[in-house]
Structure 1
């Protein structure tokens, strides 16, 4: 997702590390440098996760959560703490995914008049929150698998195999709402990893190819929200949780609409049919993509 450039040039500058003249003097952004930069953001994510876990745990312990009403066995906080921790990582992953998408849309759409950070710092924050989102999703999935292993009574190799299939193989989980919700979460995970890391090899695949693939990041976010609404225990049974999740989508929708109507890159702006230099069929395809 690209920021616009202030000078009046035919094409806004690319992100650091691409072939733009402005950025050649800057060192290429690497995965290692962004991993180091993501540590403070990651520590904040862990603090948020701990707070969410404490909230979930306290509500279950006090029996104020509707989860206990629907699933009484979940009242055993000592027996299901790992599941609650998995839920907490899932919530923080969704929050970090939301932040990543908002930052990306701010950078690639019409820029607000005033922003607290420069475009370069926003770009870096966009990348670090993306890396931490991947880490949080992985932690969420691994803890869910660990919970399945913990409560299985078969031999260890059978427990590991079953947990792997139910957690990471689409269609492997065959119980209740999870039959649809788990594959949606798996799809989000399997798309998030390559789409998030392709940025660091864009000089090999080409900036244009990377930009096209990067647009599918919004699909990862939609899958994550869908997964949460279907299978997030507290969302499913408590109305205000679910309402909050829906309300958080309004800024995303507004920024996405602004991004489609007025992208930062001038080459992506949809001109009138008469002013379009290409074929009418190509213009029609671009219009159809915007409408979709």
Structure 2
């Protein structure tokens, strides 16, 4: 972008344009959500829902329709998170020649699907909140029911029972991280190009948290079967794309960092490649073995192996790494500007 067009204010015009462009995408998401809701409802009616097997009181599909709609929004949110992650990885790397979409169109689709994903995540949480308000039987006043549901749904660590102690916390962290990390694009002129790219890369953590949340608390995939296997198999494409992106960077600056042997850049690359390869190996092992630590029919589950303290510690470490990455990117950007200024020829008068 030309220097004269770079301002310090958020790019609200681009945000408004992307919101308008996201309308068809959001409409498609609502249609998919409706289809998932019908599927979930039908499984309850047929008595084949793993959720009802664990929680028989949910067998009345009409009474708990809001819960099943909440579940449907959760699944469509995860699907759109997968889609926008794939689009983002395709755009940040070298798009294959057979892809019938221009890089500009690919980037626009990535932005609109990201906005839709955040909206779906919020609706998933909002419907869970509404269901808790409706189903609260603790004899509380209306205000008390609303406050209790708000704490359980929107306050990290507020949900205090069962697997939800961790799963709801992970889902909330995914939602609360998705908003600033997803909207950072519209503040890129304030952040600087390098800092924005460094910040945006961490949005992959949102996807990881979303999948982890679903595996823990996605009651429709508690047991082995094709829904859970499909969920695992869907993690292979983004992991392979990420590995390809790391091994063959599209940006010349990233390739040059590796060629120049810069220790920090090389360490980041090795760590990222190792993590991506480990994810691929884990997914393959889970699919081949059929065992991923999830529930087994007829067997009481073991206690939680992850505590809220561990999650908070991980979040603190993540925040520290994020801050360091942005600071390093800002310094590199300033160094580049200084280097360009030194090479700029002095005008003669």
**Deviation per residue, 1:40-91 (Å, 9 max, x gap):** 0000000000000000001101212232222211111122110100000000
Distance in 1 (CA, whole Å) between partners of 2:267 and 2:25 is 42
Answering whether residue 277 of structure 2 is matched by residue 291 of structure 1, we say no
1:87 matched to which residue of 2? 71
1:9 matched to which residue of 2? none
1:139 matched to which residue of 2? 123
Answering whether residue 141 of structure 2 is matched by residue 158 of structure 1, we say no
Question: Does 256-265 or 95-104 show the bigger shift?
Answer: 256-265
| 1:99–1:129 contact (8 Å) kept in structure 2 | yes
| 2:50–2:219 contact (8 Å) kept in structure 1 | no
1:269 matched to which residue of 2? 255
2:26 matched to which residue of 1? 42
1:102 matched to which residue of 2? 86
Distance in 2 (CA, whole Å) between partners of 1:227 and 1:105 is 22
2:105 matched to which residue of 1? 121
1:190 matched to which residue of 2? 176
**Matched ranges for 1:1-12 at <5 A:** none
**Deviation per residue, 1:232-263 (Å, 9 max, x gap):** 01111352111000000010110010011112
Question: Does 75-84 or 218-227 show the bigger shift?
Answer: 75-84
Shift of 1:100: 0.2
Larger RCO (alpha carbons 8 Å, 6+ apart): 1
1:175 matched to which residue of 2? 161
The 1:270/1:289 distance shift into structure 2, 3 A limit, reads: farther
1:8 matched to which residue of 2? none
Shift of 1:269: 2.3
Shift of 1:183: 0.4
Distance in 1 (CA, whole Å) between partners of 2:103 and 2:3 is 16
Larger radius of gyration: 2
| 1:141–1:167 contact (8 Å) kept in structure 2 | yes
**Matched ranges for 1:61-72 at <5 A:** 61-72=45-56
Distance in 2 (CA, whole Å) between partners of 1:285 and 1:258 is 15
Compute the TM-score of the two structures, normalised by the length of structure 2. Answer: 0.73
Residue correspondences, number: 268
What SS class does the counterpart of residue 101 from structure 2 fall into?
coil
Distance in 1 (CA, whole Å) between partners of 2:261 and 2:218 is 48
Which sections of structure 2, spanning at least 5 residues, go unmatched? 276-349
Distance in 1 (CA, whole Å) between partners of 2:62 and 2:271 is 53
The 1:204/1:185 distance shift into structure 2, 3 A limit, reads: same
